[in-house]
């Protein structure tokens, strides 16, 4: 099928990708490793099971002409198997970098003019003890893979460092604790024809979970342009085809540090569903099917509030 799209993962982001695809008569097949998933009622077909089940994976590969992801936490071997026959957007090369904090940080710092928080690879407790001294005896220990919403992250100081003595610390990094002014994010989308950027939004996190995104970010024109330039530079270096969200820290001296990359639509871009002519999900579809992208020119300000868990039940009662 020419106009068909396979999506790995069927959560909220997968659901919105399906809705956007439907608008343009593209048939979707969702591969979910979870029985109950948000995209179930919005996709045309679905497969449920382990991504590494060869039989299911073959069926999935045969289902569609192009493929995309709604989470970077997909085994890279699975993406490569798809790429042996079909195209994945963004490519497995990009996902491999973005799904591992160590690879991601090394990649980002290799680009001239791009910087992140200072970091050290951690493999054991003695690494943690020695490296924490470099960052003023505090740091954030982060698992290199599979983390989201602050999961797999620990604030470390003299007070609690000894609690980690018997932990297996292979596959972690230690980051310096940044005293930033604010967090912003930029979404960049590239098709074969052109590149567009969703302008920076300001992100408010509580306990490492995104709670609000405010458009436009309350930053100067100069910082806005710097953020857009950084996003474009990173996308170019990655030879991006598809969509990529870039989280940034605005420091007290007005420099921008890159926090992390998400090679998929992003929660902080949900405002584009209501305030842009084409949402981040539609732009992703256009990029996959090599259409010309339309630069979003939102004219109004807005705010996205992330309604989570029990709060959602309360909202439903009000509506």
Chain residues that interact with ligand ADP, rule: CB under 6 A: 117, 140, 147-150, 175, 177-178, 183, 205, 208, 247, 259-260
Longest dimension (CA), the chain: 59
Retrieve residue 66's tokens: 């192009």
Between the alpha carbon of residue 271 and those of residues 86, 183, 204, 265, the distances in Å are 31, 16, 14, 12
- CB of 170 vs ligand ADP, minimal distance in Å: 19
- CB of 305 vs ligand ADP, minimal distance in Å: 17
Nearer to ligand ADP, 53 or 148 (CB): 148
Nearer to ligand ADP, 193 or 206 (CB): 206
Tell me the HSE value of 251 on the side-chain side, using a 13 A CA sphere: 11
- Tell me if 50 sits within 8 A of 32, measured CB to CB: no
- CB of 268 vs ligand ADP, minimal distance in Å: 10
**Other residues' Cβ atoms within 10 Å of the Cβ of residue 109:** 14
Residue 302 zone, left/alpha/beta (φ > 0; ψ -120 to 50; rest) = beta
- CB of 152 vs ligand ADP, minimal distance in Å: 8
**Coil, strand or helix at 170:** coil
Q: Which residue is nearest to ligand ADP (CB)?
A: 178
Nearer to ligand ADP, 56 or 177 (CB): 177
Nearer to ligand ADP, 38 or 259 (CB): 259
**Other residues' Cβ atoms within 10 Å of the Cβ of residue 78:** 22
The C-alpha R_g of the chain, in whole angstroms, comes to 20
- Tell me if 189 sits within 8 A of 183, measured CB to CB: no
Residue 270: partners with Cβ closer than 8 Å, 6 or more residues away: 16, 213, 280, 304
- CB of 256 vs ligand ADP, minimal distance in Å: 14
- CB of 88 vs ligand ADP, minimal distance in Å: 21
- CB of 155 vs ligand ADP, minimal distance in Å: 9
- CB of 247 vs ligand ADP, minimal distance in Å: 6
User: Nearest 10 degrees: CA dihedral of 309, 301, 199, 152?
Assistant: -20
Nearer to ligand ADP, 7 or 174 (CB): 174
Note the residue count of the chain.
Answer: 319
Nearer to ligand ADP, 28 or 213 (CB): 213
Nearer to ligand ADP, 87 or 205 (CB): 205
Nearer to ligand ADP, 156 or 276 (CB): 156
């Amino acid at each position: 099928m020419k106009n068909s799209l396979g999506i790995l993962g069927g959560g909220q982001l997968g659901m919105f990708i399906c809705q956007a695809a439907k608008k343009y008569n593209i048939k979707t097949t969702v591969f979910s490793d979870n029985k109950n998933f948000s995209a179930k009622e919005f996709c045309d077909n679905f497969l449920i099971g382990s991504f590494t089940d060869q039989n299911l994976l073959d069926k999935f590969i045969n289902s569609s002409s192009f493929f995309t992801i709604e989470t970077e936490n997909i085994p890279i071997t699975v993406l490569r198997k798809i790429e042996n026959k079909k195209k994945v957007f963004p490519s497995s090369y990009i996902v491999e970098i973005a799904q591992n904090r160590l690879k991601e940080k090394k990649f980002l710092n290799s680009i001239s003019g791009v910087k992140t928080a200072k970091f050290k690879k951690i493999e054991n407790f003695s690494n943690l003890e020695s490296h924490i001294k470099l960052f003023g005896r505090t740091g954030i220990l982060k698992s290199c893979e599979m983390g989201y919403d602050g999961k797999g992250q620990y604030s470390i100081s003299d007070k609690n460092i000894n609690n980690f003595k018997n932990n297996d610390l292979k596959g972690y990094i230690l980051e310096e604790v940044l005293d930033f002014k604010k967090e912003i994010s930029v979404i960049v989308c590239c098709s074969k024809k052109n590149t567009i950027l969703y302008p920076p939004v300001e992100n408010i996190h509580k306990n490492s979970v995104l709670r609000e995104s405010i458009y436009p970010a309350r930053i100067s024109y100069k910082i806005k342009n710097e953020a857009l330039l950084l996003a474009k530079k990173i996308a170019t270096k990655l030879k991006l085809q598809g969509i990529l969200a870039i989280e940034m820290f605005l420091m007290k001296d007005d420099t921008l540090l890159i926090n992390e990359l998400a090679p998929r639509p992003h929660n902080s871009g949900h405002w584009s569903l209501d305030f842009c002519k084409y949402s981040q999900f539609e732009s992703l579809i256009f990029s996959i099917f090599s259409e010309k992208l339309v630069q979003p020119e939102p004219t109004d300000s807005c705010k996205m509030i992330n309604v989570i868990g029990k709060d959602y039940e309360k909202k439903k009662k009000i509506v």
